[in-house]
Amino acid sequence: MVSIRYENIGVAYGDFIVVENFDLEIPHGTITTLLGPSGCGKTTVLRALAGFVEPFEGNVFIGDNNVTLLPPQKRNTAMIFQNYALWPHLTIFKNVEYGLKLRESDELAALKSPWYSRFLWFTKPYYFFLGKTHSRALKYLQEAKEEFYSKNNGKLKGLKWYTFIGFRWIRAISNAINHYLREKKEEVDPKWAYRRKKVLEALRLVHLEDQAFKNPTQLSGGQQQRIALSRSLVVEPDVLLCDEPLSNLDAKLRKELRTEIRSIIKSLGMTTVYVTHDQTEALAISDRIAVFNIGHIEQYGTPTEVFTDPKTLFVGQFIGISSTLTGKVITSDTVELDGGEMVKLQVKANIPDGEKVSLVIRPENVSLTTKSESPIEIEINTIEYLGTEVKMTGKLKDDTILLLDVVEQAEKYAQMKVGTKLTAYIKPAEIFVFVGTDRVY
Ligand code: ATP
């Protein structure tokens, strides 16, 4: 397990500077997500770690090694991409094995074939077809067995010679021959055996070892991405890099796969850098999140920290769903909104009267039933009934939109008409208050 350190790096494409004076420390064994809107530079930072772009200043460290100028293949990182990047003409097995062939580990390099293996060249074509021939033979056998029983209605009439030997025996003999030949092959070609073991182990991790001899085109998107993950893991990289790996999948699969990916990575304890613009995915998969905004990090912390304690207006608005209301402080614990409504804050703020503030409010913290000190008149703008709750938007006097999640009496509110006037209550304790871009409480 290794940690990662970006030290004051700058990366540019031609004259266009994407990041400058960029610092970040990623602890070993964590899944750290670079989260931010499209075009803010997260992929560029990931690519600088992989070695696909070279910083014009600063250093990148993987563990204690300064890798800034190392080519990608010398960094012991592996990457998974949005579009899987599998070879369509190779089987799943060969796709996963490919990385192992490219990057021969010391362990693999140390394996030597016995001296007599060079005289066994004539067995090569046989071994080439071995796996397929064996599985095909078993398939024919199974078909013959089914045909026999269906013709004879399960009775032992019109026996053929092979029924005397017994299907079970034929299968056992075939398996034994196959097993013997494999053992011999492992003896004369230990590198092949090593690769085979590693590939099957990696496929087992993603629960796809039974699909090893299919082509990627025969698998679903989710399965293909699991193969891509297994291909990255097989080389036992120091660092795993994931560039929006779930973006091509539908919502349900994305949810399933992110849980699976997290549990596989955590079981291996691999340091992982994960890029996404999907905040829910980031919250679910990460140990730490670096929230990006155009070339710099706004906040770096655990998912709970960035969600419950946003330090800047950008983070408050980007993480979670929220409404932003603007106004000015009129006494230390009251804000007059631009439309004239009054909102009480729980804590007396040390903000001078007349200071402009932004209030970020999550929809679950606005209620129609539980009263608070901050009643606000709204006019229903949209209503979405989702079974257990109603998602509603309401217009304030100056047409600012306030989001509400209505759980109590959801059915009653779902029947209401757009344009109806209601009183909504904001929970004072749950309001994030910002002066400029910084949170004051
Ligand atoms: P996305 O989520 O859309 O991939 P991102 O945050 O990962 O966005 P980057 O891909 O790092 O953003 O791009 C950052 C900026 O650099 C963008 O403005 C982009 O247009 C620009 N950029 C990216 N790649 C290149 C390139 N090869 N040449 C020139 N400009 C590039």
Determine contact, residues 267/243, Cβ cutoff 8 Å.
no
Highest-confidence segment of 179-193, 299-313, 343-357:
299-313
Number of structural domains the chain divides into: 3
Does 407 share its domain with 331? Answer: yes
Answer yes or no: is 195 within a domain: no
Q: Which of 9, 33, 43 to mutate to test the pocket of ligand 1 (most atoms within 8 A of CB)?
A: 43
Does 330 share its domain with 291? Answer: no
Does 326 share its domain with 426? Answer: yes
Range in 206-210, 345-349, 405-409 the model is least confident about: 345-349
Answer yes or no: is 311 within a domain: no
Q: What's the gap in Å between 85 CA and the centre of ligand 1?
A: 19
Write the CB contacts of 68 (distance below 8 Å, at least 6 apart in sequence): 9, 54, 55, 58, 59, 60
Q: Indicate the residue among 188, 203, 222 that finishes a domain.
A: 188
* CA distances (Å), origin 363, targets 228, 292, 328: 38, 24, 22
- Structural domain span for residue 261: 4-76+237-301
Alpha carbons 259 and 272: distance in angstroms, whole number = 15
Q: Is 292 helix (H, G, I), strand (E, B) or coil?
A: strand
Does 332 share its domain with 379? Answer: yes
Q: CB within 6 Å of ligand 1 — which residues?
A: 13, 16, 18, 36, 38-44, 277
CA 171 to chain centroid, in Å, comes to 43
pTM of the predicted structure, to 2 decimals: 0.83
Beta pairing class for 323-331 and 271-276: unpaired
Q: Dihedral sign, CA of 144, 146, 151, 153?
A: positive
One DSSP character per residue, 320-372 reads S--EEEEEEEEETTEEEETTS-EEE-SS-----TT-EEEEEE-GGGEESSS--
Q: What is the pLDDT at residue 6?
A: 97
Does 263 share its domain with 331? Answer: no
Residue at 436: amino acid letter:
G
Determine contact, residues 87/97, Cβ cutoff 8 Å.
no
pLDDT digits (tens, 9 = 90+) for 9-68: 999 999 999 999 999 999 999 999 999 999 999 999 999 999 999 999 999 999 999 999
Beta pairing class for 65-66 and 16-26: unpaired
Closest Cα to atom 17 of ligand 1: 39
Q: What angle do CA 96, 101, 106 make, to 5 degrees?
A: 115
Q: Which of 6, 9, 11, 16 to mutate to test the pocket of ligand 1 (most atoms within 8 A of CB)?
A: 16
Does 123 share its domain with 159? Answer: yes
Q: Is 319 helix (H, G, I), strand (E, B) or coil?
A: coil
**Residue 153 predicted with pLDDT over 80:** no
Ligand 1 atom showing the smallest separation from residue 53 Cα: 27
Q: What's the gap in Å between 11 CA and the centre of ligand 1?
A: 11
Backbone φ and ψ of 345, nearest 5°: -100, 155
Residue of 193, 184, 285 whose CA lies nearest to 244 = 285
CATH number at residue 325: 2.40.50.100
pLDDT digits (tens, 9 = 90+) for 165-197: 666 777 788 788 878 877 887 787 788 888 889
Alpha carbons 272 and 78: distance in angstroms, whole number = 10
Write the CB contacts of 210 (distance below 8 Å, at least 6 apart in sequence): none
The order of strands in the sheet holding 77-80 is 77-80, 239-243, 271-276, 31-35, 288-293, 296-301
Q: What is the pLDDT at residue 193?
A: 86
CATH number at residue 259: 3.40.50.300
Choose between 348 and 171: higher pLDDT: 171
Does 281 share its domain with 375? Answer: no
Does 331 share its domain with 369? Answer: yes
Choose between 171 and 359: higher pLDDT: 359
Write the CB contacts of 114 (distance below 8 Å, at least 6 apart in sequence): 187, 188
Q: What's the gap in Å between 55 CA and the centre of ligand 1?
A: 14
Residue at 81: amino acid letter:
F
The beta strands (E) that lie in 72-229 are given as 77-80
Answer yes or no: is 53 within a domain: yes
Answer yes or no: is 216 within a domain: no
Alpha carbons 19 and 58: distance in angstroms, whole number = 11
